[in-house]
Chains A and B, each alone.
Chain A
Amino acid sequence: MIPTVALVHVDAVTRRFPLDHNEVIALDHTSLRVERGEFLAIAGPSGSGKSTLLNLIGCIDKPTSGRILIDGVDTGTLSPVQLTDLRRKKIGFVFQTFNLIPVFTAAENVEFPLLIQGLSPAERRTRVTEALESVGLAGRAHQRPDLLSGGERQRVAVARAIVHRPALVLADEPTANLDTRNATQLIELMRGLNQRLGLTFIFSTHDQRLLEHTPRIVRLTDGQVVSDSFAKGDVHEQVSAACIS
């Protein structure tokens, strides 16, 4: 059997941050493989390294040591311009605080990734309509973010993240600013997009309730993967950190 190239391959990555005269180790020799079409949650308490791991996978930060491969390409060998190009084409981002451009309407926010890809206005219009319909916000297309609820804003952010049909969507604590109902709806929305469009989702959370229907959960503690569990029916099968490495 020919081994397939993982969409994301985190290979023994360490990330240290200088703090005064000391160093903080955010990730410590962490490894992880994510295949195409996976729906994966990175769980763990605050400070466990979830956001750092997502930043590294999203190519918006660089590891102190180790390698990150996206679609088989070692991101450490890419120039800043090539990294920008990779993010623009292959990755979609959803942020905890939505991070919508406040002077743009929902539709214009969703259109932005297409704008920087240089798509024609007609193509952009079609894709924006599709994306907004897929998150159930076609009727709110011309509202500015300040007139949308928190849940609606995050759905716009999801539409923005998927509109350019990336290989990978990274969502850093996407439900942290949402109530339980909106949080559950958002996870269900992302899961639906994952199943319907085959998009790979990696999201971080520390909300235990949202993990129940997540097929794969990677748990981080103090910058190390302590477990990687795959759902088998309704039960997650735990794989020890030792097995993973």
Chain B
Amino acid sequence: MSKFLLLAFRNVFRNRRRTLMTLLMVGGGVAGLLLVGGFFAFMFRGLRESTIRNGLGHIQIFTAEHFQRDEVHVLDTGISDWQHVASSVRTGKHVRGVAPRIEFYGMLSNGVKSSVFMGSAVQPEIERSMGFSPRLASGNDLNSSSNGEVEALVGTGVARSMNVKVGDGLTILSVTADGALNGLDVQIVGLVNTGFKDLDDRYLRITLPSAQRLLQSDRVTNLVVGLDNTDNTDAVAAELAPQLRGLSQPMVEKKWIELAAYYKQVRTLFSGIFLFLGVIVFFMVLMATVNTLLMAMFERTREIGTMLAMGTPRTWIVALFMVEATLTGLFGAVAGVIGGNLLGMLLNVSGLHLPPPPGTDVPMAFRVLHVPALMIGSSLMVVVSLALASILPAIRASRLQIAEALAHV
């Protein structure tokens, strides 16, 4: 068997120029897939982390009722004994913090103009400790301990629309938990740029006590759990589930992926694009190597005839060609993985940026992640492509008429 592999190995490098061209093509295909896939992986990771850090968190805890019916009044499906739940969850492994939130909506007014807002109320110190600080375009983050004025962060779109800046005041109007209308004067301490224009045009954030005062309720909408690492989400969620089931108010948990609809859409779209690219590369490699292998078979016709005359089983000839193609695929894959990673490193240190994607106004960094699964997948893909490409030439070679093959010039 080792001599047979040795023969296949030496045959691969018999026509060095042709082998080099094949390796370049195969390696180029692998490197191309690694670069595109690595960039997509970077994009997915960036989108995932920004989705989480923009406030989604890793896990969110709601009352079970929250998903069973629409709220008649704000917070009527909220968590009442949230301090107890938060302290219980906070003791878990990998948990960096638990942040209570209130999601509410209403109107903003500067006295001249009114605008709709989508508000969230937070405990800023806890949010900061969990790394969920908003991306400030100007000003400062909220401060719970401030005296007097109620502090607020608004989106850059809101500021532009309402013609306000840091230090200016606004009035927020909302319906309380009892269904009455209530108002609160706030002072803008910072402008936020979330990266999503539509969100920036409606964004408002105030402290939790301020929102509870506005909404006349001590409940919260949900608890946002922040973890030390996104990869621990599943493990922590599994640990939390029994704890939550044992509480007096039925609770449910949602992992970030269940709540990140936009992330899932983007991922599905780009995965489809990547699959399409993979199919193109697969067929390019397949077509080009069929041609190369047919040429090799033609050149070695007399040699194959000699081997068959000596009594070599025809299955050996098929196996020989397939092993040669598989070895070529392996060498090409190794070259592609090395080349793709080196090129990726070069691109990463070059500091390239792409124009802002639609819906955002922040230029996107161009980075390529080195994803082991992608390297293995791309390598397997080209090895399988070459093995498949070799079937036709291998069968043709094995079916040669011996006398004719020996007379081949």
Contacts and interface: CB of A to CB of B under 8 A. Distances in A.
B272 interface: no
Contacts of A80: 314
A95 B406 contact: yes
A60 B303 contact: no
B403 A61 contact: yes
Contact of B310 (A81, A97, A116): A116
A95 B316 contact: no
A103 B312 CA distance: 17
Contacts, number: 65
Nearest to B2: A121
A63 B306 CA distance: 20
Contact of A84 (B6, B7, B11, B311): B311
Contact of A93 (B6, B310, B316): B310
A174 interface: no
A60 B309 contact: yes
24 contacts: A60-B308, A60-B309, A60-B406, A84-B308, A84-B314, A87-B309, A87-B310, A88-B310, A91-B311, A95-B406, A99-B302, A102-B14, A103-B11, A104-B10, A108-B6, A111-B3, A112-B307, A112-B310, A113-B310, A115-B4, A116-B310, A116-B311, A116-B312, A116-B316
Interface in A47-79: 55, 58, 60-61
B402 interface: yes
A101 interface: yes
Contacts of A87: 309-311
B139 interface: no
How extensive is the interface on chain A, given as a class? 20 to 34
Contacts of A60: 308-309, 402-403, 406
Contacts of B302: 97, 99
B7 A103 contact: yes
Contacts of A108: 3, 6
B319 to A, nearest CB: 12
A116 B10 contact: no
A93 B3 contact: no
A16 interface: no
A61 B311 contact: no
A97 B309 CA distance: 14
A160 B23 CA distance: 34
A70 B318 CA distance: 28
Interface string B275-307: 000000000000000000000000000110111
Contacts of B312: 84, 88, 116
A113 B305 CA distance: 14
B313 interface: yes
A193 to B, nearest CB: 18
Contacts of A99: 302-303, 305-306, 406
Interface string A135-165: 0000000000000000000000000100000
Interface string B7-32: 10011001000000000000000000
A95 B306 contact: yes
A101 B309 contact: no
Given A89-B311, A116-B316, A101 B7 contact: yes
